[in-house]
Amino acid sequence: NAGVMQNPRHLVRRRGQEARLRCSPMKGHSHVYWYRQLPEEGLKFMVYLQKENIIDESGMPKERFSAEFPKEGPSILRIQQVVRGDSAAYFCASSPQDSSVTGELFFGEGSRLTVL
Amino acid sequence: AQTVTQSQPEMSVQEAETVTLSCTYDTSESNYYLFWYKQPPSRQMILVIRQEAYKQQNATENRFSVNFQKAAKSFSLKISDSQLGDTAMYFCAFMLDSGGGADGLTFGKGTHLIIQP
């Protein structure tokens, strides 16, 4: 049973380019979360999605960032016109539909974005 | 809004010793979960232990146990018989129990634990 799969593991972009990070949740999980980790910091919540719905995007920057979780395929975190401050590790986590019972999220290994 | 505070940026102990990592949090809610996550050099986030706020009994997982003081809003992690593989960043995290689904985790800034041989 594969865990949460994120790709790419490492991504290098120049300022102004677009970055797309993908996340396939664990089998049977319908909830996806994206977190950002800056150096020497804990993870910061960005967005919470269910299939075809954004439930909570209170942690997402208002501009350049977007996320989706389509009916088919992985969740995608998209960063347009990247800047150096976007350099970070981006983690995806998933939970089953009844996550309120366990309260547990399952994390992927993260995607490290470096903006030159 | 919830906040999580870890006041120890770094700790170092000898192998086989017992170490306690501190965590305090602030919330006005009564139903929530608390977690300790481990992030080794591989950077993957691994759940160490979980505590439901409505449970008075402290959670235990093998060498890992917590001291949960709800009134004091304190949630410390004790690692007994520490091993070299315990070297990692440890993050304390808080999650509201919204009843309709998890609302996401709020993390502390982490404690870098180093186990010396």
For B4-23, write each residue's pLDDT tens digit: 999 999 999 999 999 999 99
The CA distance from A25 to A72, in Å, is 12
Of B4, B97, B107, the CB nearest to A103: B97
Q: CB-based contact (8 Å) between B50 and chain A?
A: yes
- The number of angstroms, rounded, from the C-alpha of B25 to the middle of its chain's C-alpha atoms is 11
Categorize the per-residue pLDDT at B102 as very low, low, confident or very high, splitting at 50, 70 and 90: very low
Region A6-34 average pLDDT:
94
Interface test mutation site (partner B, options A23, A43, A50, max chain B beta carbons within 10 A) = A43
Q: What is each CA distance from A5 to A45, A105, B79, in whole angstroms?
A: 18, 14, 30
Locate all alpha helices (DSSP H) within A7-108, ordered by sequence: 99-102
Distances (CA, A) of B72 to A3, A100, B6: 36, 24, 14
Give the phi and the psi of residue B11 in degrees, each rounded to 5.
Answer: -140, 150
* A100, A102, A108 ranked by CB distance to B98: nearest: A100
Residue B100 or A89, more confident: A89
Look at B109 and A91 and tell me if their CB atoms are within 8 Å.
no
For A12, residues 6+ apart whose C-beta sits below 8 A from its C-beta are A113, A114, A115, A116
Q: Is B76 on the interface with A (CB under 8 A)?
A: no
Q: What is the pLDDT at residue A99?
A: 53
Q: What is the pLDDT of residues B40-54, one digit of tens each?
A: 887 788 899 999 998
Query: What residues in B contact A106, CB-CB < 8 Å?
Result: 47
Q: Is there a contact between B95 and A55 if contact means CB atoms under 8 Å apart?
A: no
For B35, nearest residue in chain A (alpha carbons): A104
The answer to whether residue B115 scores a pLDDT higher than 90 is yes
Q: What is the pLDDT of residue B101?
A: 46
Q: Does B104 touch chain A (CB under 8 A)?
A: yes
Q: How many helices (H) and strands (E) does chain B have?
A: 0, 12
Q: Does B99 touch chain A (CB under 8 A)?
A: yes
Mean pLDDT of the A23-42 span = 89
To the nearest whole Å, the CA of B52 is away from the closest chain A CA by: 8
Confidence label for A86 from pLDDT (cuts 50, 70 and 90): very high
A72 Cβ contact partners less than 8 Å away, ≥ 6 residues apart? none
CB contact under 8 A, A35 and B98: no
Residue pairs spanning A and B at CB distance below 8 A: 74
Chain mean pLDDT for chain A: 90
